[in-house]
Amino acid sequence: MATNRAVLITGCDSGFGHQLAIECDRLGFHVFAGVLNADLNGAQELTRVCSQRLQVLKMDVTDPTDVVNGIKQIECSGLPLWAVVNNAGIAMNAPIEWGFDVQELNDTFSVNVFGAVRVTKQSLPLLRRSMGRIINISSIAGRTTFNGLCFYSMSKHAIRSFSDGLRKEVENLKIKVITIEPVLYRTPITDWTLMKTTLDRVWDQTPEDVKCVFSDNYRNSFEKSSQRVLKASRNQTKEVIDIIIKAIILKEPQNIYKCGGLLDFLVTFPFPTVNSKQNLQLVWSDEFDDKGLDPNKWQVEDEWLTGNCRGNHIGQLNCNVNQSENLQSRDGCLAITATRHKKKGFNKEYNSAKITTRQSWTYGRFEIRAALPTGKMLRPALYMSPMNSGQWALTGQIDIMTNIQTQSFGNGVHFSASPSIYKPDNYEYFTNASLNDFHTYAIEWSESRVGGIFFPNQVLELSDFYDWECSALILDYIRVYQWTDNQVVHSFNNTDDRTSSLDICLDVIRTNSGVYDDTYPERAKT
């Protein structure tokens, strides 16, 4: 299929473009690799490792002359231009108010948007002849705006709109338009050293009257938050390359491809903001470094009813707790385990555990890093219960994470009287990750909003937990943050029905058939 077909890829100096150029050359395409500087290492490496089919083009997408000359060179080759991959892009991570005027916005749009449009317009005459395709690299940032990456998110949203509009215009010409939306991957655009250099430059260009608004603590918090986000980026860049190759070679590619396993939900990352209400401080935590459960921080429920489960899971079960068996500490973590004692019947057949914080809070950020168990009839849950709720869930229950044997989890808010009205957000784990991996689940709760946060982590750092005999909900840490001007509520008997404690439990539920799996509750081996 690749024989005598040309592919133009912009931004081949490094990252996705560089890897894609090598892969397309390997597949037999005649690759025209657009680079910003043909004398630098990225371009020279392409010449060294690829076949003579690959040609390096100096193509600064912000320079109309470069683009016109590059397209003329492709036309003079006599090869049909089968695909144009608009990959060139930059990212600037800084608050909107920093920098000089709107220079950073201009720079971002000049490359990410105007550059893609410029290359596309010059390529369309050749694509009409070949009935080829245009592949635009957008981002998950085009669907949700990350704090600190506003200009980048704006540009990627613009690319989505550009793709959607162009697709309608060229459909009758048999030209396909495909959008690729990766999540965060480790490429030079996400290199912290380069991002820090850019951040410092933008700060230096910021007017003095604006600098006075931002404290040193704010800047430090912003940098730390940026680094935490980068740590969540994926290493498997080949996932993106494989998707782009599909878009190039498939006869009927999809209009939109998402890379990394995230579907249509919002992923938000915590950054400090100028408003003092957004300045979070740690007010409570348990790192589970001590032996056993700290009785000053937690109370253990002796017995509880697991509640009703809809869908394929129904019924209520009473659970008892044996603290030495169901609450165990190891390697700086706490494990809540579930064990079965009888083969038949449903009443008090299981031991498990439910723990509740002795302190309670109104508003804040509640963050839990945990690995979920494998085993039928298990429902791990992290949620917040109001202290004076009366009838469940009349005054609301905030679910940070609930899971029932699937590769997804939910969070949301229960409200109104029973049957509860539930407004969930459903999340799916990244490709090649699972509920057994350690992830950070969090909720930010303010007077006007409850929002879910998910920090994926593909590395299971404590694999030795897998040789435990029982299924376990493993807790690495729990942290509570509140805004600096918000009154911290510690009263266990507070009369404000918004004051809520944290509840963590591993429920055991029964299925419609009422048949138990004899292998339960063993945890999957890795």
Regarding whether 188 and 320 lie in a shared domain, the answer is no
Q: Is the pLDDT of residue 274 over 50?
A: no
The verdict on residue 484 lying in a domain is yes
Highest mean pLDDT among 69-83, 363-377, 481-495: 69-83
Strand order in the sheet with 397-402: 298-300, 354-357, 500-508, 378-386, 397-402, 408-415, 421-428
Query: Which segment of 19-33, 341-355, 392-406 scores lowest on mean pLDDT?
Result: 341-355
Q: Give dist(CA 100, CA 368) in Å, integer.
A: 39
The verdict on residue 271 lying in a domain is no
**Per-residue pLDDT at 289:** 76
Q: Give dist(CA 384, CA 413) in Å, integer.
A: 10
Mean pLDDT (whole number) for 141-161: 87
Domain boundary residue, one of 224, 259, 294: 259
Q: Is the pLDDT of residue 450 over 90?
A: no
Regarding whether 420 and 351 lie in a shared domain, the answer is yes
- What does the DSSP 8-state code read for residue 291? S
Regarding whether 313 and 386 lie in a shared domain, the answer is yes
Q: Are 406 and 388 in contact (CB under 8 A)?
A: no
Query: Which segment of 187-191, 219-223, 379-383 scores lowest on mean pLDDT?
Result: 379-383
Total domains, the chain: 2
Q: Is the pLDDT of residue 496 over 60?
A: no
Regarding whether 479 and 376 lie in a shared domain, the answer is yes
Q: Is the pLDDT of residue 448 over 80?
A: no
507 contact partners, CB below 8 Å, separation of at least 6? 306, 307, 317, 319, 352, 378, 379, 380, 381
Q: What is the pLDDT of residues 31-45, one digit of tens each?
A: 999 999 998 999 999
Q: Output the six-digit token pair for 347.
A: 């009443």
Residue 266 has a CB neighbour count (10 Å cut-off) of 15
Regarding whether 311 and 182 lie in a shared domain, the answer is no
Domain boundary residue, one of 209, 244, 259: 259
**Per-residue pLDDT at 479:** 87
- What does the DSSP 8-state code read for residue 519? T
Model pTM score: 0.54
The verdict on residue 518 lying in a domain is no
**Per-residue pLDDT at 22:** 95
The verdict on residue 50 lying in a domain is yes
Regarding whether 288 and 152 lie in a shared domain, the answer is no
Regarding whether 213 and 109 lie in a shared domain, the answer is yes
Domain that holds residue 287: 282-511
Regarding whether 253 and 294 lie in a shared domain, the answer is no
Q: Is the pLDDT of residue 241 over 50?
A: yes
Out of 152, 185, 383, 520, pick the active-site residue.
152
pLDDT band at 473 (very low <50, low <70, confident <90, very high): confident
- What does the DSSP 8-state code read for residue 124? H
pLDDT band at 92 (very low <50, low <70, confident <90, very high): confident
Regarding whether 121 and 56 lie in a shared domain, the answer is yes
The verdict on residue 216 lying in a domain is yes
Tell me, what CATH number does 289's domain have?
2.60.120.200
Regarding whether 134 and 200 lie in a shared domain, the answer is yes
Regarding whether 246 and 298 lie in a shared domain, the answer is no
Tell me, what CATH number does 140's domain have?
3.40.50.720
Please tell me the number of Cα atoms within 13 Å of 31 on its side-chain side: 31
Highest mean pLDDT among 67-71, 184-188, 215-219, 488-492: 67-71
What sign does the CA torsion over 433, 435, 437, 442 have? positive
The verdict on residue 276 lying in a domain is no
Mean pLDDT (whole number) for 380-385: 72
What sign does the CA torsion over 226, 229, 235, 237 have? negative
CA distance to 451, 471, 493, 507, per residue, from 372 (Å): 21, 9, 31, 12
**Per-residue pLDDT at 367:** 85
The verdict on residue 174 lying in a domain is yes
Q: Output the six-digit token pair for 174.
A: 């048999």
**Per-residue pLDDT at 442:** 78
Better-scored residue on pLDDT, 292 or 268: 292
**Per-residue pLDDT at 378:** 65
Regarding whether 165 and 127 lie in a shared domain, the answer is yes
The verdict on residue 519 lying in a domain is no
Domain boundary residue, one of 220, 244, 259: 259
Better-scored residue on pLDDT, 215 or 15: 15
441 is catalytic: no
Mean pLDDT (whole number) for 75-79: 95
